Structure formats: C-alpha cells, structure tokens
Amino acid sequence: MTHVAPAPAPTGAAVDGETSRRRGWGWLLLVPGMLYLAIFFVFPTIQLFLTSLYDPSGNYVQGYTLTWHFANYVDAIRDTWNLFVRSFVYAGIATAVCLLLGYPLAYAIAFKAGRWKNFMLVLVIAPFFTSFLLRTLSWKTILADQGPVADFLRTIQILPEDGRLLATPLAVIAGLIYNFMPFMTLPLFASLDKVDYRLIEASSDLYSSPLTGFRKVTFPLSLPGVVAGTLLTFIPASGDYINAEILGTPKQYMVGNRIQAAFLTEHDYPLAASLSLTLMLIVVLMVVVYVRRVGTEELV
C-alpha cells in the first residue's frame, strides 16, 4: 500500500501526495457499485426509453421494431392523463396527511419520550416487519362493508345506510397514508433528534410563544427531515398500485395500475414503457423543483 503513494505524487503538482493517493483509492471503492448502477439502472432506463419508441403495431410474440414512434407518448398521455392527475392528487394528499400525523409522532419521540425513545422508535417500525400485502389486506377487512368501522360510522349516522368505506378514494388514500407513514416519520425523527433542545428553550426564554418558537426555530431546523420524508413518501406513493387495487376499484386506479396491466397482462410494451418514463420524468421534475424551492443542501 505504501508503494502506491509515491507514484502519482510527482505528476500531481497541485495536490500533495496524501490527497492524490486517496484519489486512486476512492475510485476503486466506488467502481463496483457504479458499474452495478450503470448496468442495472442506466442501461435498463435506456432500454425502457427505446421500448417506448417501438412501433405499436408489433406484439410481444413477433417482436417489435424500433421506429422512433414518439406518437406513443401522445397516445399514452391522451388516454391516461386522468390517471396521472389522480395519482399525484392521491399521493399529494397522503403525503400531507403523513406529514401532519408523522410530525407530532417524530417530535414526541425526539423530545418527549425520555428513556422510552428507542422503544417508541421500534414501535414505529414494528408494524412494518409484517408483510405489506397482509397489512393492506387486513385494512380491507377492517374497512369492509360489514366491518367494525363502517358499522360504527353508520350507527352514529356519519355514513349513510348504504354508504361504503371500501372502494372509495378515501380508502385508497388511507391505505397510502398507512403504508408510507414510517418513510415520513423516520427522516423527521432523524433531523428533529439532531436539533439542540436548548435552542427551543432559548426561544421561549426570549418570550416567543410555543407556536412562534415552533415556526421560527424548530420547524426550520427540521426542514431536511421534512424534505427527505415528503420525498420518500410522495415518490413511492405516486407509483403505487397495490392500495388502489386492494382497497379501491378501477374507478380509483392510479397510473401504476395501468403500467402494471399494460406490461404484465396486455404485454403492450411500448405503451407501458412510455407511461413509465412519463411518470419518472414528472416525478424527477417535481423533486427538482421542490428541492430547489425548499432549498436544502441535504437531499436525503
């Protein structure tokens, strides 16, 4: 190892030997992972792009020909723009509610739980040790027409006699909220836990009301967690199709349902690929605008 050090030193006039040796090392450590990402992330994304431009008249038995058929995108978006809108509305509502529920939870764990902090943290993750599908299916049981929640709401007259909980947008959004809650809570906790509590105390010593203290001190300090949490909730929620499939009906289907069906059931690869890429493009654009707007350096 020591032999490596002198070699680059003479050529690297601007940097000292130490830094230039570290340079070589750094690349070696990064190479396997980067190769992996190049082969299994970048290359497939290019393949997906090419697939989206196949001639739609082909089929998967006879094969497709690449005709740079950009009209696939026009067709895909014309037929499914309402699914895109629905996906982003559902995911947006779910993310907002997750933030509203997850913030007090993360705050309580970080500042109020005392010696129960780690235990409460385990409780946040614990439900997620069980299969995601099983949990969603058991929500189906809970929200079912003859289930306890619907019965109760009918008894207190909030839900009409023939009203349903299952198969409504509400059920799908509730499922999204439930399933992505820890993705919101954990980053929030991580950044709240780093906040020096004395700063919050200082704000109240300086006569700020608890609300002002929160608005001007606590919340800004936890902003990296808010950004990470909202991204980690919104991104998977916008592409999810399990909640819509189990808790909803085709009337609540999101764009993920369409992509999944086009790929795995109809084998209409050009359509599925153009939908996929459109979704990815919109999500990445939203993320970029959002991160710029909120303006934190730390991405995740």
Partner 1 sequence: MATDVTTTSMTERRVGPAKRPRRNAGRWISDHLVLMVGILVLAYMFVPIGYIFALSFNQPSGGETGHQSAGAQFEAFTWTNWSTICEPEGLCRSLRLSIQVSITATVIATILGTLMAFALVRHSFRGRGSSNLLIFLPMATPEVVMGSSLLAMFVSTGFDSVLGFVTIVIAHVLFCLSFVVVTVKARLTGMDSRLEQAAMDLYANEWQTFRLVTLPLAMPGIVAAALLSFSLSFDDFIVTNFTAGQSVTFPLYVYGAKLKDFPAQLYVVGTIMFLVSFVFVIAAEVWRRRRARAWA
Q: For the chain, give the number of residues.
A: 300
Asked if 210 contacts 204 with a C-beta cutoff of 8 angstroms, the reply is yes
Asked if 295 contacts 220 with a C-beta cutoff of 8 angstroms, the reply is no
Q: Which residues, 216 to 275, sit near partner 1 by CB under 8 A?
A: 231-232, 235-236, 238-242, 246, 256, 259-260, 263-264, 269, 272-273
SS3 116: helix
Select the residue interacting with partner 1 from 6, 16, 25, 74 (CB under 8 A). Answer: 25
**Residue with structure tokens 């601007």?**
14
Secondary structure letter of residue 169 according to DSSP:
H
Select the residue interacting with partner 1 from 32, 160, 250, 295 (CB under 8 A). Answer: 32
C-alpha distances in angstroms, 105 versus 77, 99, 191? 39, 10, 13
Query: Which pair of tokens denotes residue 264?
Result: 């795995």
Smallest separation (angstroms) from partner 1 to the CB of 19 = 7
Q: Does 6 participate in binding partner 1 (rule CB under 8 A)?
A: no
- Whole-angstrom Cα distance, residue 71 to residue 270? 10
Residue 164 burial by CB count (10 A; 0-12/13-18/19+): exposed, middle or buried? middle
- Burial letters 193-229, b for 16+ CB under 10 A, else e: bebeeeebeebeeeebeeeebbeebbeebbebbbbbb
Q: Does 13 participate in binding partner 1 (rule CB under 8 A)?
A: no
Select the residue interacting with partner 1 from 6, 7, 16, 30 (CB under 8 A). Answer: 30
Q: Which residues, 52 to 71, sit near partner 1 by CB under 8 A?
A: 60
Q: Which residues, 199 to 218, sit near partner 1 by CB under 8 A?
A: 207, 210
Query: What is the x/- site pattern for partner 1, positions 156-195, by CB under 8 A?
Result: ----------------------x--x--------x-----
Select the residue interacting with partner 1 from 59, 70, 85, 104 (CB under 8 A). Answer: 104
Total Cβ atoms within 10 A of residue 134: 9
Select the residue interacting with partner 1 from 6, 127, 163, 220 (CB under 8 A). Answer: 127
Smallest separation (angstroms) from partner 1 to the CB of 208 = 12
Nearer to partner 1, 74 or 206 (CB): 206
**Residue with structure tokens 């289930």?**
147
Select the residue interacting with partner 1 from 6, 16, 18, 47 (CB under 8 A). Answer: 47
Q: Does 34 participate in binding partner 1 (rule CB under 8 A)?
A: yes
Q: Does 45 participate in binding partner 1 (rule CB under 8 A)?
A: yes
Please enumerate in sequence order all residues whose Cβ is within 8 A of that of 53, keeping only pairs 6 or more positions apart, or say none. 66, 67, 68, 69, 70, 72, 270
Nearer to partner 1, 101 or 159 (CB): 101
Select the residue interacting with partner 1 from 99, 147, 159, 170 (CB under 8 A). Answer: 147
Residue 90 burial by CB count (10 A; 0-12/13-18/19+): exposed, middle or buried? buried
Nearer to partner 1, 34 or 71 (CB): 34
Select the residue interacting with partner 1 from 40, 68, 70, 152 (CB under 8 A). Answer: 40
Q: Does 26 participate in binding partner 1 (rule CB under 8 A)?
A: yes
